[in-house]
Structure 1
Amino acid sequence: MNDLASRPRLLLRRLHQVMAGPGSAQERLDRLTTVIAQNMVAEVCSVYLVRAGEILELFATEGLKQEAVHHTRLRFGEGLVGLVAQRALPLNVQEASSHPRYAYRPETGEETYHSFLGVPIVRHNKVAGILVVQNVKPREYSAEEEEALLTVAMVLAELVGSGELVDPDEIADGLNQSGLPLTIKGQKMADGIALGVAVFHEGRVEVTRFVAEDLETEKARLLEAFETMREQVDRMIALPEIGTAGEHRDILETFKMFAYDRGWQRRIFDAIDSGLTAEASVERVQQQNRRRMIASPDPYLRERLSDLDDLANRLLRTLAGRQNGQELSEDSIIIARTMGPAELLDYDRSKLAGVVLEDGSATSHVVILARAMGIPLIGRCIDIGEHVRAGDRLILDGDSGQVLVRPGEDLCETYRDSILIKREQAAQFRAERNLPSVTRDGVRIHLHMNAGLQSDMAHLDALGADGVGLFRTEFQFMVSSTLPRLETQQELYKAVLDAAGGRPVVFRTLDIGGDKAVPFLQHEEEENPAMGWRAIRIALDRPVLLRYQLRALMGAAAGRSLSIMFPMIADVAEFKAARKIALKEMERFERLGLKGPVDLQIGTMLEVPALAWQLDSLLELVDFVSIGTNDLMQFFFASDRSNPRLIDRYDLLSPAVLSFIRMVVKACDRAGVPVTVCGEMGGRPLEAMALIGLGLRRLSISPMTIGPVRRMIRSLNVRQIENYILDMLQSPDHSLRVKFKDYARDHSVDL
């Protein structure tokens, strides 16, 4: 048993001796393949390294034909070696030639070898090479052997990273060296425009020492690093800008929970026992976490990977005696593959202009924190790091979801003017926040705002909104590892109602599923997630979940009015079933003598076109209707709104769309049921003008669009626009946008 436990340490020492020994990098790599093959009892050990253009070149081998070295090349995704590189995950195959991705290379002589185990050589979170062992006899390598080879690959990354084998500049994209301006598309996640210089986020400290000399010394260093890292996290949560409540506060509390996780700490100490240094042990365990979480079907685990990366980075920086974050000497835009939420707080807020991520999603922790702090952020800028150099001038246009790299001074000046104009307009809109949203001919238009975070509620007073027409309740569920407790949900809803100060708030019940998966529900891949098992469909299949949320909402609204609406209703039967559950919960409050809402208003989202042909039955049951134009329009045109090829294919200002909305508005008016538009359509002044012309008197829109829409309303004559639009509904035109713009210009409507 003792001999078995000492084998990894002996292998690491042997590899370290070879790497520190005499000879060129190629000669040392050749010797390393021999040592690894002997230790793994393998007939073949080969090392492939990445060259420019994602080409994998055979650099060294023990067992294959030597003439194949520097001649055999595979692309990422080609063959088993290319598959390992493409997935950045190990591949363990008993019979290589039977695998569908097997690619035969006759010059290697590998046809006699059956079993195959390949692992990625990872450097700076990118695949730098592939380490492979093979045997003649078909066999499945054990989990211990796979782990051992992954540890060896970590050590090889040190030699690969030296630059002696492959010049790092060779792999750099040509655009990175060109210095020419370019535009990189991304996905807008936190609104705003920013100008600044590119600063690359220091994602990881490079581990240069792998083999431990004294295990007890390494453990003591690691324990001290853990204590320092936890003190840093505690100080961050105490920052005044974090406040005492809100989703971003919950996110940092979850981050703190990870920092204090004893299981994570124990696994790192166990890695030291295998002979690794403290730094290499942190790296080793994080690589294990990364593989497990990336491969997991659980979207919550995949999202939390950046949190664990953040904590691992903090440990590595502490062990290296380096501080967290970088000094910013001027307005800067941080570029990172991904970031944890606490890493954002490491930067000087006065000079942090914006953030660009290669990865990221609208529900990742760093995005929610950036939104709460008012920091513009764009995600999904694939490979931006390959095109940008540190110090490059950048423009982050969060409104259009793009980054302008090395823009000319004239373009910078244009954006500076745009930012200045936006600031001046924002100041003007704040000054106008108390002006009534009344048209020139005296028609009152109610302007409500959409919200999804507790921090959004600050806009209610700042912008003079009439209330919250849509509060999305799913964010709290998406950032929690488990179903939020009843008290936690109730606390959020009560805080939202308190912030509203008596103004109406409409809570949309959970719209989860599809692309908004939560960790406490089994997630299955769907071909069409937007039209799959989501929203009310989940709620009716899991009624306990809906009852639990309704109970929290009713408790939060004790002594006040409560308005709720159900999402994704496709037929009246669904609404009846959901309404029945809500009324039973109200009866429960009364039966138990609990203090609940004094009045309950129950409405529905109209997002599925089929519901519009059931309005006569529906309007007898609902207290209000909200037209959700975002989902409605993609179902209306059978057009995925996230598909860039279709973004401009269909127009919301087409006669068909306007006629449909007009039909819904007329039916609601006849039944005396209030109707609101609560999608992005209502937040654009031109589209809002058209909606008002169709008879809508209530809009619920993004907070930042309230000012421009209010100004448009105050310049509009409703009777004139109604007559104009109704005459246009039978037009055969693809879109009425140009004609509406002409109308606004001719009638002095302020757009």
Structure 2
Amino acid sequence: MRDSVVGPRVLLRRLRELMAEPLGPQERLDQIVRDIAKNMVAEVCSLYVLRADSVLELYATEGLNPGSVHLAQLRLGQGLVGTIAASARPLNLSNAQEHPAFAYLPETGEEIYHSFLGVPVLRAGRTLGVLVVQNRTMRTYRDDEVEALETTAMVIAEMIATGDLARLSRPGMELDLRRPVSFTGVAFNDGVGLGHVVLHEPRIVVTNLFNEDSEAEIRRLDAALGSLRLSIDDMLSRREVAFEGEHRDVLEAYRMFANDRGWVRRLEEAVRNGLTAEAAVEKVQSDMRARMLHMTDPYMRERMSDFDDLANRLLRQLLGRSPDDVAAALPKDSIIVARSMGAAELLDYPRDKLRGVVLEDGAITSHVVIVARAMGIPVVGQLKGAVSMSENGDAIIADGEDGAVHLRPQPDVESAYAEKVRFRARRQELYRELRSKPSTSKDGVHIDLLMNAGLAVDLPQLADSGAAGIGLFRTELQFMVAATFPRAEAQERLYRDVLDIARGKPVTFRTIDIGGDKVLPYFKGAGQEENPALGWRAVRLTLDRPGLLRTQMRALLRAAGGHELKVMLPMVTELGEVAQAREIIDREVRHLSRFGHLLPTSLKIGAMLEVPSLLFQLDELMEAVDFVSVGSNDLFQFVMATDRGNSQLADRFDPLSVPFLRVLRRIVEAGKRANRPVTLCGELAGKPISAMALVGLGYRSISMSPASIGPVKAMLTELPVGELTAFIDENLAGNSARLPMRALLQTFADDRGIPL
């Protein structure tokens, strides 16, 4: 190319003129490839566009056989063009035919050309096509020529994205733009949401691409970078940002990136090549995102999210937009689509506008999923590519029953789901009618149906669901959504509100259960652990940091003055931990008594049975505590050596298997021998079929999400417990179960008309 600065600017100026001319889409494309070839002194310039069926079709060419346009095609990953599209990386080759990925297309006549430069046509990190130049002589294209072609590809990406080329598509061969897409992920929370996409990290669409004055755009960029750096410094200086912790580490990383000379230099180069400051940010970030998407290193993938956020902040500075503007414009049927997000971030969205959450990552035990469950919002996770395929405002359906997500659904799919939503609404009406009725089985056995909670947003559902009380109040959620450790006064205020709203119904508070996968950004813990689920967490952590437990117990004791207080210790492994915790709690009782504070009318200390070691000291455990709660999520994970966050194992082991049901029966039988109440909390209690199994095993108290109480109560009212107990005992005895227990239980219910 003749000049590293003039060349791209001349080409961009010519493209801008072409965009303004009244040309048809094919005529415009043909002229674009001619101008690119002329500007870059190339004998060939070709544009391939990615179709919805993952095929790259030749849409325009200068130099190749014109009769091959719309006929020559390559699959994604096939040939040099397919390799570029699949990897989102340019290829610069002096002799293309020696490359192992080279594929000969005889209809194009390209066999006489040796040098090859191809760049992906990218928009927001998503590949829309490939732009290629070729020459007969063997040469390697210079870096400034690669930069010029990438900049040109960005302009073409906007042409494709606006739908200008749609008229050139043949039926059944539409472009990969607004086509319907269906994903299959993992259902994290029940429910069906119909609505419109709201990207959690919304991309700002840049429409002003070409600059009139490079130096003025450089000044705009410098001013925006200065404002960005000041805003990050301001966040770091605020009192609520801890001096240590992951939250501060992220902001420090932002500051480092915002001052990174390599990043700034690439932005300035893009501006000098003719782009506006905002278009330069979009181009550099799109290039970086496309490359980093293919990295397997989790650390580098996390840095991608940091750069994405930083680029969005810089775009907002350039365009003068505030995050509050985005929140105000949310549709009334918003479905949040995110790579990942924190619990606090979900609570920032107005609840009345949320219809669902779609996550590329996450697990059923993720903090954001726990909060969404409390809010009654359907969640589907582990949907790779959902963010890059979505645009703000796209129609979307999130099915929290079977893990399906339909983006830009066809009308018949939308109609089918609308009917499904109406059916669910009628079923919910039935559950509301059951709310005031006793939770008693068909043969008169009473079962306490309790709810799990953890935030103030959960509390109204105590009355709405008809729950008999709160069987598990996860106190750590207050810590997880805060920027710093909640003060004792804030903890006391929440606990008092919980007890006041409960109006005498029982509430079991679990002491703070952090560590493992529940990381507080402001708490410097044990650092990176190889097996966090088996590491420094829950009661192990609070006994090593007794100040945490003392502060929390003081808040609980003060809040429960004049009420019964039930406190449960999580992840107890041996009885010595119960004794140590009792000593700390007794010390706080004595302290408050000495200063004349009103104390609880009774104090009951329980243990959460999650660790298999307690199975071998059950009788001693029942003597050491006032009650036991079975944490079925972790207990199943440890008994079956199954990582519950691993999607590859999600369907491999069944909690209703014979071995695990025998474990659960041993626990409830030990409780009966010692006359100690036993409650089961966890996912197992929230599904009618597994709740039915628990009742048959002898559990008379189970705790679940508020939304599960209606379906479980509907099952219970039709359940003959006596028959079920005998049925389960028979099939758990010896090895007589020929079919899986789940199938046997389903048959039992079907034969008796029990709704599951």
Taking structure 2 as the reference length, the TM-score comes to 0.66
Instruction: List per-residue Cα deviations over 1:174-207 (Å, max 9, x = no partner).
Output: 6999999x976443345433556x6797954243
Number of residue equivalences? 690
Counterpart in the other structure of 2:298: 297
- Note if contact 2:191-2:377 (Cα within 8 Å) is conserved in structure 1: yes
Counterpart in the other structure of 2:29: 25
Counterpart Cα distance in 2 of 1:175 and 1:70: 12
Counterpart in the other structure of 2:728: 725
Q: Verify: 1:129 aligned to 2:129, yes or no.
A: yes
How do 1:342-421 residues align onto structure 2 when only pairs under 5 Å count?
354-355=355-356, 357=358, 359=360, 361=362, 374-379=376-381, 396-402=398-404, 405=409, 406-407=411-412, 411=416, 414-415=419-420, 417-421=422-426
Structure 2 letter corresponding to 1:421: R
Structure 2 counterpart SS, 1:400: coil
Residues 281, 195 of structure 1: alpha-carbon distance in 2 compared, 3 angstrom cutoff: closer
- Following superposition, the deviation at residue 657 of structure 1 comes to 3.8
Instruction: List per-residue Cα deviations over 1:538-572 (Å, max 9, x = no partner).
Output: 439995897275466345425355634334x7xx4
Question: Aligned match of 2:450 in 448, 451, 473?
Answer: 448
Counterpart in the other structure of 2:242: none
Counterpart Cα distance in 1 of 2:391 and 2:292: 30
- Note if contact 1:53-1:171 (Cα within 8 Å) is conserved in structure 2: no
Counterpart Cα distance in 2 of 1:161 and 1:179: 12
Structure 2 counterpart SS, 1:660: helix
Counterpart Cα distance in 1 of 2:276 and 2:213: 8
Question: Aligned match of 1:510 in 489, 510, 514?
Answer: 514
- Following superposition, the deviation at residue 128 of structure 1 comes to 2.0
Counterpart in the other structure of 2:239: none
Please, which runs of 5 or more residues in structure 2 have no aligned partner? Answer: 19-26, 232-246, 501-505
Structure 2 letter corresponding to 1:669: K
Structure 1 counterpart SS, 2:101: coil
- Note if contact 2:30-2:62 (Cα within 8 Å) is conserved in structure 1: no
- Note if contact 2:161-2:177 (Cα within 8 Å) is conserved in structure 1: no
Counterpart in the other structure of 2:207: 207
- Note if contact 2:335-2:396 (Cα within 8 Å) is conserved in structure 1: no
- RMSD between aligned alpha carbons? 6.6
- Note if contact 1:47-1:61 (Cα within 8 Å) is conserved in structure 2: yes
Structure 2 counterpart SS, 1:127: strand
Counterpart Cα distance in 1 of 2:754 and 2:656: 17
- Note if contact 1:212-1:218 (Cα within 8 Å) is conserved in structure 2: no
Please, which runs of 5 or more residues in structure 1 have no aligned partner? Answer: 1-6, 232-252, 527-531
Structure 1 counterpart SS, 2:427: helix
Structure 2 counterpart SS, 1:509: coil
Counterpart Cα distance in 1 of 2:430 and 2:67: 70
- Note if contact 1:486-1:552 (Cα within 8 Å) is conserved in structure 2: no
Counterpart in the other structure of 1:15: 11
Question: Aligned match of 2:710 in 707, 710, 714?
Answer: 707
- Following superposition, the deviation at residue 126 of structure 1 comes to 1.4
Instruction: List per-residue Cα deviations over 1:624-649 (Å, max 9, x = no partner).
Output: 54333345446656777788898777
Structure 2 letter corresponding to 1:128: L
Counterpart Cα distance in 2 of 1:35 and 1:477: 60
Structure 1 counterpart SS, 2:531: coil
- Following superposition, the deviation at residue 496 of structure 1 comes to 4.9
- Note if contact 1:563-1:602 (Cα within 8 Å) is conserved in structure 2: yes
Counterpart in the other structure of 2:486: 487
Counterpart Cα distance in 2 of 1:588 and 1:36: 81
Residues 628, 61 of structure 1: alpha-carbon distance in 2 compared, 3 angstrom cutoff: farther
Instruction: List per-residue Cα deviations over 1:561-618 (Å, max 9, x = no partner).
Output: 5634334x7xx4xx4686688578669979999999986836234265x653454676
Counterpart Cα distance in 2 of 1:420 and 1:51: 39
Structure 1 counterpart SS, 2:663: helix
- Following superposition, the deviation at residue 456 of structure 1 comes to 2.4
Counterpart in the other structure of 1:279: 278
Structure 2 counterpart SS, 1:486: coil
Structure 1 letter corresponding to 2:127: V
Structure 1 letter corresponding to 2:286: Q
Instruction: List per-residue Cα deviations over 1:131-157 (Å, max 9, x = no partner).
Output: 689999999999x99988765653453
Structure 1 counterpart SS, 2:32: helix
Counterpart in the other structure of 1:242: none
Counterpart Cα distance in 2 of 1:30 and 1:326: 46
- Note if contact 1:50-1:57 (Cα within 8 Å) is conserved in structure 2: yes
Structure 2 counterpart SS, 1:103: coil
Counterpart Cα distance in 2 of 1:413 and 1:549: 48
Moved more, 29-38 or 57-66: 57-66
Residues 648, 509 of structure 1: alpha-carbon distance in 2 compared, 3 angstrom cutoff: closer
Counterpart Cα distance in 2 of 1:622 and 1:360: 39
How do 1:669-688 residues align onto structure 2 when only pairs under 5 Å count?
669-671=672-674, 673-688=676-691
**Identical-residue share of aligned pairs (%):** 33
- Note if contact 1:151-1:284 (Cα within 8 Å) is conserved in structure 2: yes
- Following superposition, the deviation at residue 457 of structure 1 comes to 3.2
Counterpart in the other structure of 2:537: 539
Counterpart in the other structure of 1:499: 498
Moved more, 466-475 or 385-394: 385-394
Instruction: List per-residue Cα deviations over 1:302-333 (Å, max 9, x = no partner).
Output: 6678866876786788689x98589999x867
- Note if contact 2:125-2:286 (Cα within 8 Å) is conserved in structure 1: no
Counterpart Cα distance in 1 of 2:465 and 2:582: 35
Counterpart Cα distance in 2 of 1:565 and 1:337: 34
How do 1:131-210 residues align onto structure 2 when only pairs under 5 Å count?
153-155=153-155, 157-158=157-158, 169=169, 185-194=184-193, 204-210=204-210
Residues 90, 713 of structure 1: alpha-carbon distance in 2 compared, 3 angstrom cutoff: same
Counterpart Cα distance in 2 of 1:25 and 1:477: 56
Structure 2 letter corresponding to 1:506: R
